[in-house]
């Protein structure tokens, strides 16, 4: 830190009041720093306002048809059901506003000066607020997050398509929705809208969904989503989107000019860091691909006394990661306790129905890095759906390094996978071995007991031979 803190109005100025920025500001203030934070939209950021939290409410809402269906197998008679989108959105909005208030009041309680306007960087130690006011601070922390990107190559996309932010405020549930993209955000919305009653088609340019996730589970999820009525068109691109007089959209695909008629087109093709117009050039920060800010393990940028955390650095775009990066920054800079965030073995979920939970290496990564890997897999019908007559299978897969017996990754598909994977993440962190899993007493009857009762590997994979050997 430079030695001129008394010359500035604040010790720390945080740009962006999302997951990472809020945590950093609160912890720094707790360590005695004089902190200000600026938020141009709503405190809470992407996760609270237009990401994880409202999405999970919609996911819960979308799963009730399954409950109604299953109930009949348990002797219940369910009367006529109906769904009202406006009620769900209004209830969601009320909770989001409550959380937003909480974020802001917690900052204020911690002694942080909160500002409700955009901030841009003017030069070293200097920011300008949208109102024109200038502020100086010893340290700047950039926590501006990311935003959905609308591809410029599709005619009519900017005018006639929506992005994930917009779904949370739609006036009505679209009768037919075309979703462009094969990543987790695209699929989560596909699951939500399908569950709530929209006819969903997913179009994406790759062969397989969920690039970067375990291939086998992604393929199983693909099949499960199709079985639930979601149409999936792979290796396709959009050429144009037109709006007709009655408000419906006519989408033309690139390759064979096939057309798809729908009521809403959701572009979920990627996100980009929020760095444009931020004034980074005034402090000599050169941005990386898509606009991300390069940082070292302590979240230091190439400019002195300027740090960046969260999605704007495009390291691992998840809320808990942004929060940890903010916390580590604040402890390191103001708490005399330097530490860095370990980005390995971060658990994550895809909140589709069925949901996917994943932690550690994928099968392909495990084999590539560890040479010889045992794949322990099991699949079964979740107990609850037995009486209900459901056909969906739960799939669990554990990857184990043959030379050390250590667990390398876990990939689950089915009910409560996210909840289970959170706990498995601790096992990975502790370096648990397969033997230790075998020694753990199962909890019966549960789905999770399968994690400690898979006795034999279904395949052993070798990097060198590139073969699949059945054990
Ligand atoms: P953000 O939370 O995006 O906060 C950045 C803030 O900075 C914003 O509020 C923005 O308005 C503000 N800002 C930007 N520029 C300025 C400026 N110049 N001046 C003032 N303010 C500015 N993650 C999970 O872990 N689990 C999930 O299930 C999950 N689901 C998601 C679902 C969706 C649909 C989306 C879009 C994201 C999801 N994420 C999820 C990702 C998660 O939301 C982000 O990783 C997280 O919010 C990143 O936090 P952040 O602090 O880096 O940025």
How many whole angstroms separate alpha carbon 274 and alpha carbon 87?
Answer: 32
How many whole angstroms separate alpha carbon 28 and alpha carbon 266?
Answer: 39
Cα-trace Rg, the chain: 24
How many whole angstroms separate alpha carbon 49 and alpha carbon 442?
Answer: 39
Our answer on whether the CB atom of 183 is closer than 6 Å to any ligand 1 atom is no
Ligand 1, atom 29, lies closest to the CA of 52
What's the gap in Å between 32 CA and the centre of ligand 1?
26
Q: What pLDDT was estimated at residue 471? A: 46
How many whole angstroms separate alpha carbon 309 and alpha carbon 316?
Answer: 10
Atom of ligand 1 nearest to the CA of 16: 7
Residues 6+ apart with CB under 8 A from 241: 154, 155, 156, 157, 159, 160, 161, 249, 250, 251, 252, 265
Our answer on whether the CB atom of 367 is closer than 6 Å to any ligand 1 atom is no
Contact (Cβ atoms closer than 8 angstroms) between residue 213 and residue 364 = no
Query: In this structure, what DSSP letter does residue 25 have?
Result: H
Ligand 1, atom 35, lies closest to the CA of 51
Ligand 1, atom 41, lies closest to the CA of 318
Our answer on whether the CB atom of 166 is closer than 6 Å to any ligand 1 atom is no
Our answer on whether the CB atom of 164 is closer than 6 Å to any ligand 1 atom is yes
Q: What pLDDT was estimated at residue 466? A: 57
* Residue whose pair of structure tokens reads 């909890």 in the numeric block: 443
Our answer on whether the CB atom of 319 is closer than 6 Å to any ligand 1 atom is yes
**Residue closest to 295 by CA, chosen among 318, 311, 278, 277:** 311
Our answer on whether the CB atom of 414 is closer than 6 Å to any ligand 1 atom is no
How many whole angstroms separate alpha carbon 44 and alpha carbon 143?
Answer: 12
Give SS3 for 133. Answer: coil
Number of Cβ within 10 Å of residue 306's Cβ equals: 22
What's the gap in Å between 145 CA and the centre of ligand 1?
5
One digit per residue, the tens of pLDDT, for the chain of length 471 reads: 445 557 899 999 999 999 999 999 999 999 999 999 999 999 999 999 999 999 999 999 999 999 999 999 999 999 999 999 999 999 999 999 999 999 999 999 999 999 999 999 999 999 999 999 999 999 999 999 999 999 888 999 999 999 999 999 999 999 999 999 999 999 999 999 999 999 999 999 999 999 999 999 999 999 999 999 999 999 999 999 999 999 999 999 987 889 999 999 999 999 999 999 999 999 999 998 889 999 999 999 999 999 999 999 999 999 999 999 999 999 999 999 999 999 999 999 999 999 999 999 999 999 999 999 999 999 999 999 999 988 999 999 999 999 999 999 999 999 999 999 999 999 999 999 999 999 999 999 999 999 999 999 999 999 976 555 544
What's the gap in Å between 466 CA and the centre of ligand 1?
40
**Residue closest to 9 by CA, chosen among 110, 118, 129, 103:** 129
Q: What pLDDT was estimated at residue 467? A: 55
Beta bridge mates, 127: 121, 135
Our answer on whether the CB atom of 273 is closer than 6 Å to any ligand 1 atom is no
End-to-end CA distance of the chain: 57
Our answer on whether the CB atom of 17 is closer than 6 Å to any ligand 1 atom is yes
Tell me whether residue 327 is one of the annotated catalytic residues: no
Pocket test for ligand 1, best of 16, 38, 323 (most atoms within 8 A of CB): 16
pTM of the model: 0.96
Residues 6+ apart with CB under 8 A from 115: 36, 37, 38, 39, 129
* Residue whose pair of structure tokens reads 């340019």 in the numeric block: 205
Give SS3 for 80. Answer: coil
What's the gap in Å between 89 CA and the centre of ligand 1?
20
What's the gap in Å between 312 CA and the centre of ligand 1?
9
Q: What pLDDT was estimated at residue 49? A: 98
**Burial class of residue 153 in the structure, from the number of CB atoms within 10 Å of its CB (0-12 exposed, 13-18 middle, 19+ buried):** exposed
Residue from 8, 69, 411, 444 carrying the catalytic annotation:
444
């Amino acid at each position: 830190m430079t030695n001129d803190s008394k010359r500035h109005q604040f010790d720390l100025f945080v740009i962006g009041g999302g997951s990472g920025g809020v945590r950093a500001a609160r912890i720094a203030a707790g360590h005695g720093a004089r902190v200000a934070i600026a938020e141009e939209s709503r405190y809470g950021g992407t996760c609270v306002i237009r990401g994880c939290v409202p999405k999970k409410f919609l996911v819960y809402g979308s799963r009730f048809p399954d409950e109604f269906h299953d109930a009949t197998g348990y002797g219940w008679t369910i009367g006529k059901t109906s769904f009202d989108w406006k009620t769900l959105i209004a209830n969601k909005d009320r909770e989001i506003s409550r959380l937003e208030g909480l974020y802001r009041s917690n900052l204020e309680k911690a002694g942080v000066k909160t500002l409700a306007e955009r901030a841009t960087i003017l030069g070293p130690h200097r920011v300008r607020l949208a109102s024109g006011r200038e502020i100086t601070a010893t340290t700047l922390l950039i926590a501006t997050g990311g935003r959905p990107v609308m591809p410029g190559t599709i005619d009519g996309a900017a005018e006639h398509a929506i992005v994930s932010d917009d779904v949370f405020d739609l006036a009505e549930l679209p009768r037919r929705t075309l979703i462009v993209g094969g990543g987790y955000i695209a699929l989560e919305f596909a699951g939500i809208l399908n569950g709530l009653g929209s006819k969903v088609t997913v179009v994406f340019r790759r062969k397989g969904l969920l690039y970067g996730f375990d291939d086998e589970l992604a393929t199983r999820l693909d099949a499960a989503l199709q079985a639930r009525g979601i149409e999936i068109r792979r290796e396709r691109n959009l050429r144009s989107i037109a709006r007709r007089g009655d408000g419906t959209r006519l989408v033309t695909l690139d390759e064979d000019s096939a057309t798809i008629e729908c009521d809403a087109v959701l572009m979920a093709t990627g996100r980009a860091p929020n760095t444009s117009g931020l004034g980074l050039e005034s402090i000599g920060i050169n941005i990386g691909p898509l606009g991300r800010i390069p940082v070292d393990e302590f979240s230091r940028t190439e400019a002195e006394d300027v740090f960046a955390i969260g999605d704007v650095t495009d390291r691992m775009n998840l809320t808990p990661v942004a929060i940890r990066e903010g916390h580590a920054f604040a402890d390191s800079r103001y708490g005399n306790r330097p530490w860095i965030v370990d980005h390995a073995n971060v658990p994550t979920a895809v909140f589709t129905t069925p949901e996917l939970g994943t932690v550690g290496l994928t099968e392909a990564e495990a084999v590539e890095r560890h040479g010889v890997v045992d794949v322990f897999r099991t699949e079964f019908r979740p107990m609850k759906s037995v009486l209900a007559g459901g056909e969906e299978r739960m799939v669990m897969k554990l990857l184990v390094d043959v030379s050390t017996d250590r667990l390398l990754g876990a990939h689950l598909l089915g009910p409560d996978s996210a909840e289970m994977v959170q706990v498995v993440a601790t096992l990975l962190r502790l370096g648990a071995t397969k033997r230790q899993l075998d020694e753990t007493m199962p909890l019966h009857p549960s789905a999770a007991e399968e994690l400690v009762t898979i006795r034999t590997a279904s395949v052993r994979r070798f990097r060198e031979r590139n073969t699949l050997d059945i054990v």
